């Protein structure tokens, strides 16, 4: 994933490696999971790189389960294993 806001803010391009999913089952809610975790991490004061890593791990976990909602305990355990 690349964020390029150099034209607007004079910043240089940043590239972030995301965590791939091992077994894609259902992509429903992948973007919601990524965006929610990314924003939550940024609001906690984490760096952009840390927030992208955490958010990509969350999205990777969500798409390995059917439906848009997975049990909290399953999500939490999987998130800790991926970090």
Answer whether residue 57 shows pLDDT above 80: yes
Q: Is residue 13 part of a domain?
A: no
Q: What DSSP element (H or E) covers 14? A: strand 14-15
The encoded tokens of residue 54 equal: 């955490």
Within-domain flag for 32:
yes
More confident residue, 83 or 21: 21
Residue 63 resides in a domain: yes
| 75 in any annotated domain | yes
DSSP three-state, residue 12? coil
| Structure confidence by residue, pLDDT tens digits, 3-46 | 555 556 666 677 887 878 889 999 999 999 999 999 999 999 99
- Whether residue 43 lies inside any domain: the answer is yes
φ, ψ for residue 38 (rounded to 5)?
-60, -50
Number of domains in the chain: 1
Residue 69 in domain: yes
Domain, as residue range, for 24: 18-82
CA torsion sign for 62, 68, 51, 72 is negative
Catalytic residue among 5, 26, 32, 73: 32
pLDDT of 10 reads 65
Whether 1 is covered by a domain: the verdict is no
Is 4 assigned a catalytic role?
no
Listed in sequence order, the residues at least 6 apart from 18 whose beta carbon sits closer than 8 Å to its beta carbon are: 1, 52, 53, 56, 60
């Amino acid at each position: 994933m690349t964020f390029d806001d150099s034209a607007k803010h004079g910043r240089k391009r940043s590239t972030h490696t995301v965590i791939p999913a091992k077994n894609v089952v259902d992509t429903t809610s992948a973007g919601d999971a990524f965006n929610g975790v990314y924003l939550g991490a940024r609001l906690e004061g984490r760096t952009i790189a840390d927030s992208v890593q955490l958010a990509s791990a969350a999205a990777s976990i969500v798409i390995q389960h059917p439906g848009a909602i997975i049990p909290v305990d399953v999500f939490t355990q999987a998130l800790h294993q991926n970090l």
